[in-house]
Amino acid sequence: MNQVAKIQAPKIDFEGPYVLTIDGKPVETNKSFEVFNPATNEVLAQAPEGTAEHMEAAIAAAREAFPAWAALSWDQRGAYIEAYADALEAHKDELITLLTLEQGKPRHSMAKGEVEAAIFWVRETAKRRIAIETIEDTDEHTVEIHHTPLGVVGAITPWNFPVLLGLWKVAPCLVTGNTMVMKPSPYTPLCTLRFGQIGQTIFPAGVFNVVSGGNDLGQQMTEHPDIAKISFTGSTATGKRVMASGASNLKRITLELGGNDAAIVLADTDWQPLIPTLFWAAFGNSGQWCIATKRLYVHRSIHTDFVKAFVDFARDKVVGNGLDAATDLGPIQNRMQYDKLKDLFADVKANGYAVPLGGTIDESLAGNFVPVTIVDNPPEDSRIVQEEPFGPILPIIAFDEVDEVVAKANASPFGLAGSVWGPDRKEAAAVANRLETGTVWVNEIHIHGIDIPFGGHKLSGMGVENGQEGLKGFTNTKTLMFHK
């Protein structure tokens, strides 16, 4: 391995307005848009509204920077990315607070966890490599598989985990030798704009660009002939649009989309100790989580006791401002999602489903606060079972037979993840094997890792992030043959 000098990570004093990062430089824009604090609905900051010209300049800069970046060794690129992890670490506390302010999640728990996990991810991904594979080596002939960078990657991210899901893209994209233009959600652009500014102190100009603005910028990226790949995390509806417009130049596309994950608690499970785990699996980040448990199927023999204990555990959870140390669950991140939830709550009420906890949104509150809500045994065809709520509301549904519950779990057009809980690991694993999902956990949930591929089945996505497979998703598979 070549020795590569350590790159120093300076600390920045963030002063003045938020800026775009284009070609290694801060760029101010003529127009800006308001970013709201979801806990108060007050304006938190003005974010720069990038235009089509800014996006064009960012893509051109990334294209210009690509050959020299791709020509570096993996170790040289890894050293830059490690330095980037150090620089992010130096700004960790500011990022945690900013994440709470723009996204709403509790500072002391979810926000801290997200930022720390993201920095860890960057640091570890800097060490990952894709080895050259020799698949044939005879006296006459050698066949090798190499993985070469694609070019400019466009990254488009959502508002629920803007830090983790953004940095999940940056590190593997850059370590494999690509350059990047990133566009955050207009609801949560601030941490990502800081990523750009921090990157200005580390990366060669043009390697990492950040442009905030409206959804039209995302569309521009997906149509652009100089972008080789789109790495997208967001809703299935937008994912379909990304795929359609990416067809113009046959872009590589990774889509991490929505889900309606089922958790299945089998008969004879020792369920009492699982209540806290399953509660947080469903309600962490106020349910605004692609892999949140969104349908909880419990065997009828234990269903009544289970619901009672679940409600007892959930009852005292505090929904509030994420800056408050007493807060367990923050607000809904934006008004659009809050309104969708109001509509879903109204449907639950109108249909008279049993609601042993919550059920009424107090609209007099200043922030987008939605109470922890449990719906007891609604019908399978109800909206609350069929749709992805993306909020703190969970149906707990009784089932009788394993075949029945597997069929119900698989009846969804989504297939992101799921979990099975049971006394016999082999039996539970057999059920898990029947679920049509990208990930399934048995007697545990929400384990992720740098080396664990993560992706969706069916309408939940295409391709994976993380693991060797995720890294390879940022590359072209190139077969090299030698005659000896």
Active-site positions read 256, 290
For ligand NAD, which stretch binds (CB under 6 A), given 33-41, 218-226, 367-375, 392-400?
Answer: 218-226
d(CA 372, CA 341): 12
Closest CA to 204 of 61, 391, 326, 104: 61
d(CA 41, CA 150): 41
List the structure tokens of 87: 């620089």
32 binds ligand NAD (CB under 6 A): no
Enter the tokens of residue 44: 């938190």
Residue the block writes with tokens 């113009």: 248
Which two tokens mark 56?
Answer: 């064009």
Does residue 219 belong to the site contacting ligand NAD (CB under 6 A)?
Answer: yes
CA pseudo-torsion sign 395, 398, 401, 402: positive
Please tell me the distance from the alpha carbon of residue 465 to that of residue 472, in angstroms, as a whole number.
Answer: 9
Neighbours of 325 (CB within 10 A): 10
Kindly compute the dihedral angle of the four CA atoms of residues 107, 113, 119, 123, in this order, to the nearest 10 degrees: 160
Q: Is 154 in the site for ligand NAD (CB under 6 A)?
A: no
Counting residues that bind ligand NAD (by CB under 6 A) gives 30
Q: Is residue 479 involved in binding ligand NAD (CB under 6 A)?
A: no
Instruction: Please state, in angstroms and rounded to a whole number, the distance separating the CA atoms of residues 336 and 313.
Output: 29
Interaction of residue 218 with ligand NAD, rule CB under 6 A: yes
Contacts of residue 225, defined as CB under 8 A and 6 or more positions apart, other chains included, come to 248, 249
- Hey, how many other C-beta atoms are within 10 angstroms of the C-beta on 426? 8
| Residue 157: CB minimum distance to ligand NAD, A | 6
- Rule CB under 6 A: say whether 235 interacts with ligand NAD: yes
Q: How far is the CB of 305 from ligand NAD (least distance, A)?
A: 31
Residues 271-300 that bind ligand NAD (CB under 6 A): 290
**Residues in 390-409 at the binding interface with ligand NAD, rule: CB under 6 A:** 390
CA distances from 483 to 136, 142, 301 (A): 11, 7, 68
**Residue 173 CB, nearest approach to ligand NAD (Å):** 16
- Which of 98, 265, 416, 440 touches ligand NAD (CB under 6 A)? 416
Rounded Cα distance between 62 and 206, Å, is 5
Rounded CA-CA distance 68/71 in Å is 5
Rg of the chain's alpha carbons, rounded to an integer?
23
Which position's Cβ is nearest ligand NAD? Answer: 218
For ligand NAD, the binding residue among 100, 179, 222, 285 (CB under 6 A) is 222
Stretch that binds ligand NAD, among 87-95, 142-150, 155-163, 190-198 (CB under 6 A): 155-163
Between CA 130 and CA 116 the distance in angstroms is 25
- Measured from the CB of residue 165, what is the shortest distance to ligand NAD in angstroms? 6
Name the token pair of 222: 């997906």
Smaller CB separation from ligand NAD, 302 or 462: 462
Q: How many whole angstroms separate alpha carbon 463 and alpha carbon 453?
A: 9
Contact 371, 360 (CB under 8 A): yes
| Interface of this chain with ligand NAD, residues 455 to 474, rule: CB under 6 A | 456, 461
Q: Residue 156 or 393: which CB sits closer to ligand NAD? A: 156
Q: How far is residue 12's CA from residue 466's CA, in Å, rounded to a whole number?
A: 30
Interface with ligand NAD, residue 82, by CB under 6 A: no
Stretch that binds ligand NAD, among 121-129, 236-244, 319-327, 351-359 (CB under 6 A): 236-244
168 or 297: whose CB is closer to ligand NAD? 168
Shortest Å distance, C-beta 148 to ligand NAD: 26
- Residue 48 in contact with ligand NAD, rule: CB under 6 A: no
Q: What does DSSP assign to residue 291? A: T
Start-to-end Cα distance in the chain: 27
* Least distance between ligand NAD and beta carbon 189 (Å): 9
Exposed, middle or buried by CB within 10 Å (0-12, 13-18, 19+), for 444?
exposed
Tokens of 285: 């980040």
40 binds ligand NAD (CB under 6 A): no
Contact characters 356-395, ligand NAD, x per CB under 6 A: --------------------------------x-x-----
68, amino acid identity:
A
Q: Taking CB under 6 A as the rule, does residue 186 contact ligand NAD?
A: yes
Considering only the stretches 88-96, 252-260, 361-369, 396-404, report the one whose residues sit in contact with ligand NAD under the rule CB under 6 A.
252-260
User: What number of other Cβ atoms are within 10 A of residue 75's Cβ?
Assistant: 14
Q: Interface with ligand NAD includes 317 (CB under 6 A)?
A: no
The reply on whether position 158 binds ligand NAD by CB under 6 A is yes
Q: Find the part of the chain contacting ligand NAD (CB under 6 A) among 3-11, 235-243, 321-329, 376-384.
A: 235-243
**Of 68 and 336, which has the nearer Cβ to ligand NAD?**
336
Does position 35 interact with ligand NAD (CB under 6 A)? The reply is no
User: 78 or 415: whose CB is closer to ligand NAD?
Assistant: 415
- Residues in touch with ligand NAD (CB under 6 A): 156-161, 165, 183, 185-186, 215, 218-219, 222, 233-235, 238, 241-242, 256-259, 290, 388, 390, 416, 456, 461
